[in-house]
Homo-oligomer: A and B are copies of this chain.
Amino acid sequence: MIIDCHGHYTTAPGELHVFRDAQLAALRDPRGVVVEAPRISDDQIRDSLEKAQIKLQRERGSDLTIFSPRASAMSHHLGNEAASLQWARVCNDLIYRACELYPDNFVGVCQLPQSPGVAPGRSAAELERCVRELGFIGCNLNPDPSGGYWTSPPLSDRQWYPLYQKMVELDVPAMVHVSSSCNPNFHGTGAHYLNADTTAFMQFLTSDLFKDFPTLRFIIPHGGGAVPYHWGRYRGLAQDMKRPPLEELMKNVYFDTCVYHLPGIELLFKVVPVENILFGSEMVGAVRGIDVRTGQHYDDTKRYVDALALSEADRRLVYSANTRRVFPRLDALLKKRGR
């Protein structure tokens, strides 16, 4: 069984974006308009998935995608807390419906209703709703709800602790995932995403967060940003700063395989313990084209993993066992279904 730990609903019906635009426009309207949740039919959902994610699952040979709302559209920097909450609920409810329609193909991870300057703990209720009522197994946590100005405290700050307490209580991990950038310095998928990954790792390395929360787990996507390429730098920095060795940190931190070429994947597996690598493709996502050199999609990361000389045991770790360990609610769900 092959589980893709990183998929977004980037192909959601246009009604969703019409709603978001109307919602944000209403915030600027002094009359205080209320915008209703969009009406999207089951057929629309089916159509949007079957010709995209499900088709690609079939073509590429993955079975189940851990599925969350489009990351770039979370745009926590827009609107206010109430708007973020309504938007998160609408997006999460849509993910729920996708998972209900295709329970073998998708399992849900939620968007949090974060907003700049708002205590992260206020996202705990939506997380709990998604996990307890909608059967979701984790969340995407935005380390920079300002969208590229980095005005929130680091992930190690105690302001985040109420949210972490809820994650621990529910036994769900978070993928550290920023949204789009409104800072003209940062291209979204080409800079902001990778920078956030790198930044989060260093925040973890320099803090005692996992002493306070020994069972808290984070997935750093996009292959860990710059981290594996600079693994020696991080080992050396940890040593110079008299921090524990990276092995200690890697009890709580995991990387996905969203690295879009073989040499990058080779490096990832060379330096990062295989127990910490979760298969992921980010499809349909950041890079959609076909590499003219190989004739294959850049984001068909399974090809790169398959090209490695991994033992069967290691392959099983990366394709399913690690992910089931990091997402215990997924493991329980699959066991219940006899998978």
By a beta-carbon cutoff of 8 Å, the part of chain A in contact with chain B is: 143-144, 148-150, 152-154, 183-187, 189-191, 194-195, 198-199, 201-203, 205-206, 222-223, 225-226, 228-237, 239-240, 259-264, 266-267, 270-271, 286-289, 291-292, 298-299
Contacts and interface: CB of A to CB of B under 8 A. Distances in A.
Nearest to A183: B150
B240 A288 contact: yes
A229 B304 CA distance: 14
Given A190-B234, A287-B240, A264 B229 contact: yes
A267 B271 CA distance: 12
A48 to B, nearest CB: 20
A298 B150 contact: no
A194 B190 contact: no
Contacts of A201: 191
B226 A184 contact: no
B191 A198 contact: yes
A201 B286 CA distance: 17
A298 B235 contact: yes
Nearest to A267: B267
A228 to B, nearest CB: 6
Top 7 closest A-B pairs, CB basis? A232-B261, A232-B260, A236-B287, A226-B226, A229-B229, A236-B298, A195-B195
A183 B183 CA distance: 15
A186 to B, nearest CB: 6
Contacts of A237: 187, 189-190, 286-287
